[in-house]
Chain A
Amino acid sequence: MRPGSIEEASVAMRELGAAGRAMRVRGGGTKRGWTSVACEVELETSGLAEIVEHNEGDFTAVVQAGVRLAAAQAQFARAGQMLALDPPLSGDGGEPAATIGGVVATADSGPLRHRYGGVRDLVLGVTVVLSDGTVAKAGGRVIKNVAGYDLGKLFAGSHGTLGLIASVSLRLHPLPATHATVQAQGDDAAALAGAAARLAALPLEADCLDLSWAGGTGSLLMRYSGPTAAARAGETTVFLGELGLADADVTEDDDALWATQRAAQRRDDGGVVVKVSAPPSQTGAVLAAVEALGGQVVSRPALGLAWVSLAPDDDLGERVERLRAALAGAALTVQDGAAHVAARWPAPAPAALQVMQRIKARFDPARICAPGTFVGGS
């Protein structure tokens, strides 16, 4: 099923709702490994592929769900602008097929979240289609607006379970002309995490701050942008030296470094990627737990987010549970490789879950939108 317009999508949703046919939205198809639940119907967004507005002077855009993020970025870049969202664009390192709709629906993020926030912080408004055919919008097209409920945030990260996100309006940012990245290596996870915490507490205004760790060694990466990027990166190497990370160096041609960080958030070889959400001070514990488990991890230490990647194995489900046990208090969500794990989602508090179920019942009374793919499992 491939509606060519929001009106067609409305008709399709209404008919599916009336017939009670379970449906799932498909964008670029790059996150199919994130769920193992089958749906009767796939609604493809490739027919909703228009960049409706790019208001260059206002740094805003209105983009339909099926537009590939890479294509939108190319258009924004021609005006010296960007959408400050840089999640991995494919699951297998292949074609960058991820769509705006898919990124918003899964609230996926990349290294730029350090400075610019996540999907929820960049979506200004949303047009949705519900399972009774209702087409509704919320928010607006200006960067500041408090009129009405912020349904853009509610739908961001809802994994298609409330309805179809048909288009979104977005805040854009200037595309920096220059970058510089400081990189330091170390084989002491606690020291790396400690250095990252020190950097995160300083008013450095870096674009990205990442850690990676695998097989007893890791690195810290911090990226600056703007006219003084290289000079500020140089200052940071001195600071890291004082913290005992002596071999820090600066790379100005740094795109490949960050592509590697993004790519480490995904895997398509039968392994598992688990997103960890924890207070930032848990970063050292996350690295230690991964080391004990024999996996690898990309961490955004100032955010308290990490993506733990486990290679294919007979007991992936059991290893994920061991990770959950080691990081009690953190929320662990399985992304790639969901089929290998019984419990994809962490359990929310029962009272919060009840509210979520009431929201689901109001927005999708026909209960056809991706039933079974979201929080609420054991």
Chain B
Amino acid sequence: MDSGARGSTRDLRTLVARMRQIVGDGWVYTDAHELRTYESDGLLQYHAVPAAAVLPGSAQETAAVVRACAEAGVPWVARGAGSGLSGGALPVPDGVLIVMSRMKRILDVDLENQRVCVEPGVTNASVSAAVAPGFFYPPDPSSQIVCSIGGNVAENSGGAHCFKYGFTTNYVTGLELVLPDGELVQIGGKALDPPGYDLLGAFVGSEGTLGVATKVWLRIVPSPETVRTLVAFFDSTRDAGQAVSEIVQAGIVPGAIEMMDQLAIEAAEPMARAGFPVGRRAALLVELDGAARECETRFEEVTAICARCGSDDVRVARDSAERDRFWKARKAAFPAMGRISPNYFVQDGVIPRTKLPEVLARIEQLAGEYGLIVANVFHAGDGNLHPLVCFDSMIDGQAQAAEELSGKILEACLAVGGSITGEHGVGVDKKKHMPKMFSEPDLDCFQRLRCAFDPQGLANPTKVMPTPRLCGEVPGPYRQHPLEAAGLAERF
């Protein structure tokens, strides 16, 4: 059907024909039934069917497709594995969905330089697999078996281990990009600090609004000599939070510190069978990794701190099987919610770690006001909360109440100086909350960057920004500064 402002049906037909020439007939889908596969990403409450889905097989094909979209003035959205949790890969109804899943080659494993070069469709877990056992790739979103590196780059994905190891942005040393005008550009490579503005830093986490990556150079690191894992149970989340603070204050940087509250423990245990005692108010999973000698010394300190902060039940994983069970309980918390609630929303707020007791109390209070259940699991080291807001969509008004409650939880995070998203991204889901975190001049400043990359506004146009914005012209023709006229300066 005619899509109105963006272009006519006839223009779209021309574009589809052009794209078939570029990638081959078999890699362009326009049939409504085929397109249904792509109507949502990992956030299922949003869906939209694109005009066409195209699966390029190379960087050149990707560039040609993007260029064709630019020439036709048709918006496009890039999609990786579709496991994102903010609707970042939600299609634009009258646009093109560029699916990167065919580009999944590992191009270069360079252990000497501790770099790997991959195509964007490569899964996160297969990067570590390619460099094991001597090395690994630290960012480990919980979807790591399926999620793609291209998607990780777009979202600046984190994971359970980022308190110690950092996020995707700390590991990308180079990108080959297709810019929204269809130009193919390489920035960085194997070396750090490429000359000029930090375009890598600007691009990673830009949620598909500045272009699409066709090649990614990643830094890998030596695998830790030892991993030690324990889980400690507490009678209050406050005590568990105190243990986290004392561990960090002692100068210990655990590979991971994860917390689960009572509801999360109760939901996860029947599924994970990790032997977690149902009824305890908080479980703290602490994992230390690194050099063996340092790890052993620090692990004793952590055990002592947990006991001092009120845990009478500290369990040290005796072997990797037990470690896996501990982690299974933590990771089961999300899927297990499905057993106690027909539906749930996952939030992704961040708070300063010291505000944990205050914010948890506030969440409990809000849940009471709305008459809904909220379970909490979080990356306690970096204050990234994942409240699971439970509801039943069959009960009239409950989905809406849960949505409202989720918003209030984010407001509680912002009230203590936090953020609306720690690792899931803004996407379409949280863009309405952006003005609560950023002022109009802040948003205008973001838009300047977007316009520098995408003046036509065609790359993932309906995401991140709360309201649609156009790019003005860059003011005036270029005026040469007197210093440049005098030959003393170049154009910067």
Q: Do A and B bind each other?
A: yes
Chain B residue nearest in CB terms to A332: B195
CA distance A208 to B416 in the complex (A): 35
CA distance A137 to B225 in the complex (A): 41
Q: Does B10 reach chain A (CB closer than 8 Å)?
A: no
Whether the pair A203, B291 counts as a contact (CB closer than 8 A) is yes
Whether the pair B421, A147 counts as a contact (CB closer than 8 A) is yes
From 436 to 486 in chain B, residues with beta carbon under 8 angstroms from any chain A beta carbon are: 437-439, 441-446, 448-453, 464, 474-476, 478-479, 481-484
Residues on B with C-beta less than 8 A from A151 are 202, 445-446, 449
Whether the pair B293, A345 counts as a contact (CB closer than 8 A) is no
Q: Does B155 reach chain A (CB closer than 8 Å)?
A: yes
Known A-B contacts A128-B445, A142-B419, A200-B114; A228 and B185 likewise in contact (beta carbons under 8 Å):
no
Q: Does B121 reach chain A (CB closer than 8 Å)?
A: no
CA distance A204 to B248 in the complex (A): 20
Q: Does A1 reach chain B (CB closer than 8 Å)?
A: no
Whether the pair B201, A154 counts as a contact (CB closer than 8 A) is yes
Residues on B with C-beta less than 8 A from A288 are none
Pick from A134, A333, A345: contact of B441, CB below 8 A: A134
Whether the pair A231, B293 counts as a contact (CB closer than 8 A) is yes
Proximity bits, A347-378, B CB within 8 Å = 1, else 0: 11101110111111111010110111111111
Q: Does A143 reach chain B (CB closer than 8 Å)?
A: yes
Whether the pair A371, B251 counts as a contact (CB closer than 8 A) is no
Proximity bits, A143-158, B CB within 8 Å = 1, else 0: 1111111111110111
Most buried by A among B422, B425, B445: B445
Known A-B contacts A138-B446, A141-B417, A201-B114; A372 and B166 likewise in contact (beta carbons under 8 Å):
no
Pick from A38, A145, A226, A275: contact of B422, CB below 8 A: A145
CA distance A202 to B189 in the complex (A): 23
Whether the pair A362, B451 counts as a contact (CB closer than 8 A) is yes
Q: Does B304 reach chain A (CB closer than 8 Å)?
A: no
Known A-B contacts A142-B383, A146-B423; A37 and B352 likewise in contact (beta carbons under 8 Å):
no
Q: Does A34 reach chain B (CB closer than 8 Å)?
A: no
Chain A residue nearest in CB terms to B354: A57
Size class of B's contact patch? 35 or more
CB distance from A346 to the nearest CB of B (A): 5
CB distance from A214 to the nearest CB of B (A): 23
Residues on B with C-beta less than 8 A from A348 are 194-196
Pick from A150, A201, A333: contact of B202, CB below 8 A: A150
Q: Does B324 reach chain A (CB closer than 8 Å)?
A: no
Whether the pair B155, A146 counts as a contact (CB closer than 8 A) is yes
Where chain B touches its partner, the secondary structure class is loop
Whether the pair B115, A145 counts as a contact (CB closer than 8 A) is no
Chain A residue nearest in CB terms to B417: A141
Chain A residue nearest in CB terms to B223: A203
Stretch at the interface among A43-51, A67-75, A89-97, A276-284: A276-284
Residues on A with C-beta less than 8 A from B189 are 279
Whether the pair B193, A371 counts as a contact (CB closer than 8 A) is no
Chain B residue nearest in CB terms to A53: B417
Q: Does A33 reach chain B (CB closer than 8 Å)?
A: no
Proximity bits, A112-138, B CB within 8 Å = 1, else 0: 000001101100000010100011111
Interface residues of A, CB < 8 Å — how many?
102
Whether the pair A374, B196 counts as a contact (CB closer than 8 A) is yes
Q: Does B162 reach chain A (CB closer than 8 Å)?
A: yes
Residues on B with C-beta less than 8 A from A363 are 445, 448-449, 452
Proximity bits, B189-203, A CB within 8 Å = 1, else 0: 111111111111110
From 166 to 202 in chain A, residues with beta carbon under 8 angstroms from any chain B beta carbon are: 173-177, 197, 200-202
Q: Does A299 reach chain B (CB closer than 8 Å)?
A: no
Residues on A with C-beta less than 8 A from B483 are 22, 37-38, 371-372
From 145 to 173 in chain B, residues with beta carbon under 8 angstroms from any chain A beta carbon are: 155-156, 158, 162-163, 166-167, 169-170
CA distance A375 to B193 in the complex (A): 13
CA distance A235 to B194 in the complex (A): 35
From 191 to 243 in chain A, residues with beta carbon under 8 angstroms from any chain B beta carbon are: 197, 200-205, 226-228, 231-232, 235
Whether the pair A352, B419 counts as a contact (CB closer than 8 A) is no
Chain B residue nearest in CB terms to A343: B490
Q: Does B434 reach chain A (CB closer than 8 Å)?
A: yes
CA distance A157 to B189 in the complex (A): 18
Pick from A107, A134, A145, A149: contact of B421, CB below 8 A: A145
A-B pairs, top 5 by smallest CB distance, nearest first, are: A372-B489, A153-B201, A174-B251, A136-B445, A374-B492
17 contacts between A and B (CB under 8 A): A140-B417, A143-B382, A144-B422, A146-B156, A156-B201, A158-B197, A197-B112, A227-B297, A279-B110, A305-B192, A356-B196, A358-B453, A361-B478, A368-B481, A375-B195, A376-B492, A377-B490
Known: A38-B483, A201-B114, A375-B197. 10 other contacts (CB 8 A): A117-B166, A118-B193, A150-B204, A174-B253, A201-B135, A203-B291, A232-B291, A279-B110, A280-B112, A363-B445
